[in-house]
């Protein structure tokens, strides 16, 4: 087991990706500002790789500081631009269990990110898989304050050429500055969010 370089965690590498969409797939210009998607990820040593571990509380506890750092990094990356939607994911290296990645994605990890975004109300959509370097992960996105806002249901795909190693977990958080371009399926509008329960 490697000694930590970030609290109890050992982080090998941080990643930052930007994607700006100025028009729809058919070429229709954006209805307003372009859609910016931001992906932040960390390749983290998996101390449980190669063995079954019944209790994962120490991993969950260590993820709190990780969430604080993700929150700091999204504030830095957004550079004052408002974030409207988010999602999280993990890719677990082949020597680990999928549950090892999930232990780093719980509410303990997500709450500091919510706070960094000004107190987001909705639960964070999540996914994950096992794989090796170059695995593509599709991260779901939804509005940070109201899950019923259909215009913000989206996905961002990310690939990390050198992660995860077999004994790593790749933890990923994605963010977007607005909903889909030219969204036209109706439902609750972002401008009409009531902010009561994370749904409406």
Domain enclosing residue 130, as ranges: 11-192
Dist. CA 124–CA 171, nearest whole Å: 14
Cis peptide before 164 (omega within 30 of 0): yes
Work out how many domains the chain is built from and give that number.
1
Q: What is the mean pLDDT of residues 62-84?
A: 97
CATH number reported for the structural domain that contains residue 73 in this entry: 3.30.1330.110
* Residue 108 maps to a domain: yes
* Residue 154 maps to a domain: yes
pTM exceeding 0.75 = yes
* Residue 62 maps to a domain: yes
* Residue 2 maps to a domain: no
* Residue 3 maps to a domain: no
The per-residue pLDDT for range 128-182, each reduced to its tens digit, is 999 999 999 999 999 999 899 999 999 999 999 999 999 999 999 999 999 999 9
3-state DSSP percent of the chain in helix, strand and coil, to 5 = 20, 30, 50
* Residue 4 maps to a domain: no
């Amino acid at each position: 087991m490697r000694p930590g370089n970030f609290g109890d965690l050992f982080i090998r590498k941080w990643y930052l990706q930007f994607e700006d969409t100025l028009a729809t797939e058919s070429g229709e210009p954006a209805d307003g500002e372009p859609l910016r998607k931001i992906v932040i990820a960390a390749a983290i040593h998996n101390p449980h790789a190669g063995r079954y571990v019944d209790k994962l509380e120490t991993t969950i506890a260590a993820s709190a500081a990780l969430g604080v750092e993700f929150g700091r990094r999204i504030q830095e990356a957004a550079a004052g631009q408002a974030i409207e939607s988010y999602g999280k994911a993990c890719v677990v290296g082949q020597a680990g269990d999928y549950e090892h990645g999930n232990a780093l994605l719980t509410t303990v990890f997500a709450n500091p990110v919510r706070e960094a975004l000004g107190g987001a109300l909705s639960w964070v959509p999540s996914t994950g898989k096992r794989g090796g370097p170059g695995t593509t992960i599709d991260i779901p996105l939804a509005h940070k304050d109201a899950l019923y806002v259909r215009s913000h249901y989206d996905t961002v795909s990310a690939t990390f050429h050198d992660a995860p190693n077999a004994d790593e977990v790749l933890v990923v958080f994605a963010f977007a500055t607005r909903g889909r371009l030219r969204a036209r399926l109706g439902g609750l509008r972002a401008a009409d969010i009531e902010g009561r329960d994370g749904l409406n």
